């Protein structure tokens, strides 16, 4: 695992950027710093501006654990793809299955939402309904390991049994058979017709992409981690504010994507959008809507 902003890392990134790659980013802990209250998380304006430039020149994908509408409200640019729920929503080819994932989540909500459920007495635990997955947040509890163990015991009894995905003090319940971020990235690579992809993420759900170890995918992890399968790393989340502008700068170098785009004129990236339903008008950067609604306050 090499440092992405070292001479070696930048050389690899530059090579990648020459071939019109699919650029894919996670949000929380990657584009946006982790904050105490997830609904206050924000992608910095400068990062958004550079992502908007990149989206003009090549395919940009956002692949997040958030619900699509929630992620959408955080973005002030048009990514070509917006994948939510860790891959369970928005992946080309899985549209029909999404309704079944939503039904599974409603079944789970009926089970864990019943009166007398022990987790409801745990202070600082909230349950988020993301339609296609559920998430228990426990960022505010005193003994996270104990709470996590209790939640794991409870969800192991759910029918059907969920696939568990551990985030930073969040336990995600994914419907069985739902695509993960690795499945999502492979589908996007094929759909976008890009030869290569660059993927940047920060936690266990992103390892599903890192572990693919596909020659066509270069991966960057936020914070070095011994067990990670990523190719490159950034020392901390704040360095995304250096990486994204660096990628945009590479495009403007002689022979880079941005320069070629100017020479070739409009129409170069006029590929049809994945799904018109997934296009939206961005709001002003200052407008933030908190779509995240805890079902139970701390
Ligand atoms: Mg993340």
Boundaries of every domain in the chain: 2-93+180-278, 97-174
Compute the distance between CA of residue 59 and CA of residue 215 in angstroms, rounded to an integer. Answer: 19
For residue 97, how far is its CA from the centre of ligand 1 (angstroms)?
24
Compute the distance between CA of residue 178 and CA of residue 81 in angstroms, rounded to an integer. Answer: 18
For residue 128, how far is its CA from the centre of ligand 1 (angstroms)?
16
For the chain, percent of residues with pLDDT exceeding 70: 87
For residue 100, how far is its CA from the centre of ligand 1 (angstroms)?
25
CB atoms within 10 A of CB 268: 16
Q: Do domains 2-93+180-278 and 97-174 have the same CATH topology?
A: no
For residue 152, how far is its CA from the centre of ligand 1 (angstroms)?
20
Residue 262: pLDDT band by 50, 70, 90 thresholds?
low
CB atoms within 10 A of CB 220: 27
- Tell me how many helices (H) and strands (E) the chain has: 9, 11
Instruction: Return the minimum-mean-pLDDT range out of 211-225, 245-259, 271-285.
Output: 271-285
Tokens (6 digits) for 162: 């969920």
Q: What is the pLDDT of residues 166-199, one digit of tens each?
A: 888 899 999 999 999 999 999 999 999 999 999 9
What pLDDT is recorded for position 253? 83
Work out the average pLDDT over 77-89: 93
For residue 259, how far is its CA from the centre of ligand 1 (angstroms)?
32
For residue 27, how far is its CA from the centre of ligand 1 (angstroms)?
6
Handedness of CA 22, 62, 101, 152 (dihedral sign): positive
For residue 117, how far is its CA from the centre of ligand 1 (angstroms)?
29
Instruction: Return the minimum-mean-pLDDT range out of 58-62, 180-184, 208-212, 271-275.
Output: 271-275
Work out the average pLDDT over 66-87: 93
Work out the average pLDDT over 98-126: 91
What pLDDT is recorded for position 9? 97
Q: Give the residue with greater pLDDT, 265 vs 290.
A: 265
For residue 9, how far is its CA from the centre of ligand 1 (angstroms)?
21
What pLDDT is recorded for position 264? 65
Is pLDDT of 251 > 60? Answer: yes
Q: How many CA atoms lie within 13 A of 185 on its CB side?
A: 33
Q: In three state form, how does the secondary structure of 98-128 look?
A: HHHHHHHHHHHHHHHCCCCCHHHHCCCCEEE
2-93+180-278: CATH topology is Rossmann fold (3.40.50)
Which residue in the block uniquely carries the two structure tokens 């860790």? 86
What pLDDT is recorded for position 275? 37
Is pLDDT of 270 > 80? Answer: no
Choices 3.40.50.300, 3.40.50.880, 3.20.20.70, 3.30.70.1020: CATH for 97-174: 3.30.70.1020
Q: What is the CA radius of gyration of the chain?
A: 19
For residue 61, how far is its CA from the centre of ligand 1 (angstroms)?
14
For residue 202, how far is its CA from the centre of ligand 1 (angstroms)?
5
For residue 267, how far is its CA from the centre of ligand 1 (angstroms)?
34
The order of strands in the sheet holding 134-137 is 126-129, 134-137, 170-174, 163-167
Is pLDDT of 267 > 60? Answer: no
Q: What is the pLDDT of residues 24-42, one digit of tens each?
A: 999 999 999 998 888 899 9
What pLDDT is recorded for position 32? 97
Q: What pTM was computed for the model?
A: 0.83
DSSP 243: H
Check residue 288 and give left, alpha or beta (phi > 0: left; psi -120 to 50: alpha): beta
CB atoms within 10 A of CB 137: 22
Q: How many CA atoms lie within 13 A of 151 on its CB side?
A: 29
Residue 139: pLDDT band by 50, 70, 90 thresholds?
confident
What pLDDT is recorded for position 265? 54
């Amino acid at each position: 695992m090499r440092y992405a902003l070292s001479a070696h890392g930048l050389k690899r990134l530059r090579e990648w950027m020459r071939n019109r790659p699919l650029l894919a980013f996670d949000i929380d802990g990657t584009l946006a710093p982790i904050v105490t209250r997830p609904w206050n998380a924000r992608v910095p304006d400068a990062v958004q501006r550079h992502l908007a430039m990149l989206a003009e020149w090549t395919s940009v994908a956002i692949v997040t654990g958030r619900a699509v509408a929630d992620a959408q409200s955080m973005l002030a640019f048009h990514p070509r793809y917006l994948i939510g729920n860790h891959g369970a929503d928005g992946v080309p080819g899985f549209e029909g299955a999404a309704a079944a994932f939503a039904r599974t989540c409603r079944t789970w909500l009926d089970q864990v939402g019943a009166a007398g459920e022990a987790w409801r007495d745990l202070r600082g635990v909230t349950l988020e309904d993301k339609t296609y997955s559920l998430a228990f947040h426990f960022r505010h509890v005193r003994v996270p390991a104990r709470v996590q163990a209790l939640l794991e015991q409870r969800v192991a009894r759910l029918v059907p049994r969920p696939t568990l995905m551990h985030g930073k003090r969040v336990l995600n319940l994914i419907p069985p058979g739902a695509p993960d971020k690795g499945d999502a990235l492979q589908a996007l690579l094929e759909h976008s017709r890009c030869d290569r992809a660059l993927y940047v993420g920060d936690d266990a759900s992103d390892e599903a992409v890192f572990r693919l170890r596909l020659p066509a995918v270069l991966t960057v992890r936020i914070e070095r981690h011994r067990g990670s399968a990523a190719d490159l790393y950034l020392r901390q989340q704040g360095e995304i504010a250096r990486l994204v502008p660096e990628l945009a700068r590479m495009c403007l170098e002689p022979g880079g994507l941005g320069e070629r785009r100017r020479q070739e004129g409009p129409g170069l990236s006029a590929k049809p959008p994945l799904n018109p339903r997934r296009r939206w008008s961005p709001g002003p950067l200052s407008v933030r809507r908190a779509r995240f609604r805890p079902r139970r306050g701390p």
